[in-house]
Structure 1
Amino acid sequence: MDLYYSPFDFDIQEDPYPVYARLREEAPVYRNERDDFWALSRHADILAALRDSTRFSSVNGLRIEPAFWGPDAEKFFSFVAMDPPKHTRMRGLVSRAFTQRRVQALEPRIREIARAHLAPLLDGDAFDLMEFAGRLPTDVISELVGVPEADRDRLRELGMAIMYRDEEATDLPPEALKAIGELVQYYTELTAERARERRDDLLSGLLDAAEGDDRLTPEEIVGVLILLVGAGIETTMLLLGNAWHAAWKHPAERARAFAGRVEDWIEETLRWDPPTQALARTTTEDVELHGVTIPAGGRVLLLVGSANRDPRVFPDPDRFDLDRDTGASLAFGSGRHHCLGANLGRLEARIALTELVNVIADYEIDAAAMKRVHSSNDRGFASLPTRITARR
């Protein structure tokens, strides 16, 4: 069978890992002419590219759909779609507001939110895990930013409309573009409101963040808030679902996870089935790898999901193993674009899964009814119907 890879192909999205294995061995620098991109699949090559922002630029964005790709990508991805010195300035200012202290201070509130969303789902012996997994990070990011409770469900709906597809397509449908516009308008109004009256939230912190006389503009702040919808809500939602699914598929590891190995469960899920599967870059000059030349201006997909299954780095990589050393995982990227919210994502996942384990002794997923999301760079579930055995 001819080797074929496209991030838009629904069949590949169902299980990309066999295709990744062939790419690593047969075409570590793969060319897709139809969709006009190159793909790197080996861990060493992807790690090097992530750390080489001079030759592998982020200025055209992280996704190759035309609506996201190009010089205006920073409108969607903020500082993640920038190179130095713009990236250095923006990330520095955002870091002054998005502090570890602010993240850690959220822990008691995250636990409250998790318990509040979990309680009604436990009235019976079955629920959809993704209902819990979607609401929790939406509320956490909203708490962090300062979004009123009444607006949170709508923000989640808009984020879903932007991220996921019902039909195979290489660009965004009209409803996604409309959702982007609605989000921009909402956050623009919220930023103006907070500029008039500060509160103890991230939005106020972004307004006050300064390096000498340099401050973020309102437009830059709105860009950061839009980024948080994808980077802060969707990835954590998908991580929780992927962890739940992975443990269900591996009963022995599930027992160990439920016996106190929640953090190892999270880290092995991030390696074995990461929410973010691909990150795009643009070559700034000709780059030769494995005897293949990627021309300057080439669109390159860094297949993080493949890197995390590379047997050169992870022995027996298709095995889900809580004892594994996951230190080389690229689930949160590497280099100057390493995910700024990694600690918050891990904290949310630890609290959410711990709360689930505290009240659930075991569970079964209805495999026939579960549904995956369809996305060019994210991987996870839209629905995970679960039947539980409650703890007594």
Structure 2
Amino acid sequence: MQMRTSTSVRTGGQSPVEALPVAYDPFSYQVQEDPYPVYAWMRENAPVYRNEERDFYALSRHSDVLAAMRDATTFSNRNGISLESTMSGAQAYQNVWFLALDPPDHTTMRRLVQRKFAPRTVAQRETRIRELVRRRLEPLRDQDGFDFARDLANPVSTDGVCDMLGIPEADWDTVRLDSDLLNTRKHDSDERTPENLAAAFRLGTYYKQLVADIRRHPGDNLISSLTRSEVEGRPVTDSEIVAFIFLIVSGGNESTSKQVGIAWYHGWRLPDVQRAGLGGRFADWAAESLRFDPSSQMTSRTVTRDVVLYDTCVPAGSRMVLLHPSGNRDHRVFDDPDRFDLNRDTRKMLSFGAGPHHCLGGALATLEIPTVLEEVARYVAGYDLDMAAARRVHSAHQRGFTHLPCSVVWRKGVRN
């Protein structure tokens, strides 16, 4: 990271945002509803933001977020990637496995599964993804509308991940619903509720039994592969596999599935995008939604040494939040960044991270999101949303919808 000592942070030729819309607190429902005005203020007025109450700093500019993601020595994952006390510190490794490690340990552990998520390997799953989408769509085709998030987008991505892992199909919906419940937080709270803890216990108990069952009866799936794997001369433990299952199921359920719903929402908000998207621009629709409004909203690091950024001394041991969605709206990198543009070059977006901790499932999401949109477009010619009945996710880390009721215009010849 470039250590700057500029006396002014109002750069780039744009007028600064004069007043902070609301304090940046990722646990605030108000921020979760629309964080982008807050990010805009931070980028222009406080590129190193300090939240005294929750005791963290935050980076919001594209160049700073990117540099921090690449510098795992200074911005470490050793205490986990969450601000929640129950998910950080010594217990982080138990919760997110190799995400709570830095190179070289992180590299060693990640290598166990990395090939399964490589673009060439993921591409082989396209036919299966299409099959899973069509299975979710089939019972909806005799209706004038359905809940796009609940009935399609959210289940489909979890289906795909569970299928890869070797989770029995009869359990997919239960796993998804408990995963949703696990990650929901009350307004302004970073504490887990009894409902969160109960969901975590159910999932943990189920995953432990699943791993034991697969060890006895392995198959052609990712969990079976891990039960046969070794790291530094020892077998991968059941606890490590369970942590990996939590990580991957959450990634599919929270990120990819919610991103499909976000793309659908912006297609409703912008009729030209809907027409072009349903008309065949699935990859552009998916990519720009990932830049403009990514489902993953923040990640956290621990600063390992004193650093000075924009005249602000950030002491060693501090928690640093990296706001990649804010970087995606930085005018220093993207022209007219607050406009949803299907013609945009999105290659510099930060939605999948960067550096050694870049998103393991990035290639899968890049395939899955436009594939889901394409399969839906085979049947749907147009749609409208009932935003009065829509419900957003309430999570510090994730953005998206739990409910997104829509009415649809079916293409001729596809109604049951």
Q: Shorter-chain TM-score: what band?
A: over 0.9
1:61 matches 2:80: yes
1:346 matches 2:366: yes
Unaligned runs of 5+ in 1: none
Contact residue 98 and residue 109 of structure 2 kept, 8 A: yes
What is residue 50 of structure 2 aligned with on the other side?
31
What is residue 246 of structure 2 aligned with on the other side?
226
Give the TM-score normalised by the residue count of structure 1. Answer: 0.96
Q: Cα–Cα, structure 1 residues 259 and 96, in superposed 2: closer, same or farther, change >3 Å? A: closer
Following the alignment from structure 2 to structure 1, what is the Cα–Cα distance between the partners of residues 286 and 239? 35
Q: Cα–Cα, structure 1 residues 202 and 188, in superposed 2: closer, same or farther, change >3 Å? A: same
Letter in 1 for 2:397: N
1:108 matches 2:127: yes
1:16 matches 2:41: no
Which digits, 9 at most, give the CA deviation of each residue in 1:37-64, with x for residues without a partner? 1111000000000000000001111110
Contact residue 29 and residue 40 of structure 1 kept, 8 A: yes
Q: How far 1:71 moved relative to its partner?
A: 2.0
Counterpart secondary structure, 1:231 = helix
Q: How far 1:210 moved relative to its partner?
A: 4.1
Following the alignment from structure 1 to structure 2, what is the Cα–Cα distance between the partners of residues 179 and 274? 25
Counterpart secondary structure, 1:67 = helix
Unaligned runs of 5+ in 2: 1-18
Q: How far 1:133 moved relative to its partner?
A: 1.0
1:93 matches 2:109: no
1:186 matches 2:243: no
Contact residue 29 and residue 39 of structure 1 kept, 8 A: yes
Which digits, 9 at most, give the CA deviation of each residue in 1:310-329, with x for residues without a partner? 01001100000010010100
Q: Cα–Cα, structure 1 residues 262 and 306, in superposed 2: closer, same or farther, change >3 Å? A: same
Counterpart secondary structure, 2:300 = strand
Contact residue 215 and residue 227 of structure 2 kept, 8 A: yes
Q: How far 1:178 moved relative to its partner?
A: 2.2
Letter in 1 for 2:29: F
Contact residue 94 and residue 209 of structure 1 kept, 8 A: no
Q: Cα–Cα, structure 1 residues 22 and 100, in superposed 2: closer, same or farther, change >3 Å? A: closer
Following the alignment from structure 2 to structure 1, what is the Cα–Cα distance between the partners of residues 261 and 48? 31
Q: Which one of the candidate residues 125, 128, 147 is aligned to 2:167?
A: 147
Contact residue 287 and residue 346 of structure 2 kept, 8 A: yes
Following the alignment from structure 1 to structure 2, what is the Cα–Cα distance between the partners of residues 29 and 287? 11
Letter in 1 for 2:60: S
Question: How is 1:291-306 mapped onto 2 (pairs within 5 angstroms)?
Answer: 291-306=311-326
Contact residue 288 and residue 294 of structure 1 kept, 8 A: yes
Letter in 1 for 2:99: V
1:308 matches 2:341: no
Following the alignment from structure 1 to structure 2, what is the Cα–Cα distance between the partners of residues 200 and 99? 17
Q: Cα–Cα, structure 1 residues 222 and 89, in superposed 2: closer, same or farther, change >3 Å? A: same
1:163 matches 2:183: yes
Following the alignment from structure 2 to structure 1, what is the Cα–Cα distance between the partners of residues 313 and 385? 45
Counterpart secondary structure, 2:86 = coil
What is residue 174 of structure 1 aligned with on the other side?
194
What is residue 12 of structure 2 aligned with on the other side?
none
Following the alignment from structure 1 to structure 2, what is the Cα–Cα distance between the partners of residues 62 and 115? 35
1:128 matches 2:147: yes
Following the alignment from structure 2 to structure 1, what is the Cα–Cα distance between the partners of residues 235 and 226? 9
Q: Which one of the candidate residues 243, 247, 265 is aligned to 1:245?
A: 265
Question: How is 1:320-359 mapped onto 2 (pairs within 5 angstroms)?
Answer: 320-359=340-379
Letter in 1 for 2:168: P
Following the alignment from structure 2 to structure 1, what is the Cα–Cα distance between the partners of residues 390 and 93? 34
Identity, % of aligned pairs? 45
Which digits, 9 at most, give the CA deviation of each residue in 1:176-215, with x for residues without a partner? 1222222222111111111122101111111223467354
Q: How far 1:155 moved relative to its partner?
A: 0.6
Q: How far 1:94 moved relative to its partner?
A: 2.0
Counterpart secondary structure, 2:313 = strand
Following the alignment from structure 2 to structure 1, what is the Cα–Cα distance between the partners of residues 81 and 149? 25
Q: Cα–Cα, structure 1 residues 252 and 114, in superposed 2: closer, same or farther, change >3 Å? A: same
Contact residue 93 and residue 216 of structure 1 kept, 8 A: no
Which digits, 9 at most, give the CA deviation of each residue in 1:296-316, with x for residues without a partner? 110111011101100100110
Letter in 1 for 2:145: A
What number of residue pairs does the alignment pair up?
392
Q: How far 1:103 moved relative to its partner?
A: 2.7
Q: How far 1:165 moved relative to its partner?
A: 2.4
What is residue 48 of structure 1 aligned with on the other side?
67
| Root-mean-square deviation over aligned CA pairs | 1.5
What is residue 11 of structure 2 aligned with on the other side?
none
Counterpart secondary structure, 1:123 = coil
Following the alignment from structure 1 to structure 2, what is the Cα–Cα distance between the partners of residues 136 and 124? 19
Following the alignment from structure 2 to structure 1, what is the Cα–Cα distance between the partners of residues 359 and 234? 23
Following the alignment from structure 1 to structure 2, what is the Cα–Cα distance between the partners of residues 99 and 319? 31
- Bigger drift between 250-259 and 33-42 goes to 250-259
- Bigger drift between 172-181 and 207-216 goes to 207-216
Q: Cα–Cα, structure 1 residues 345 and 91, in superposed 2: closer, same or farther, change >3 Å? A: same
Following the alignment from structure 1 to structure 2, what is the Cα–Cα distance between the partners of residues 375 and 233? 13
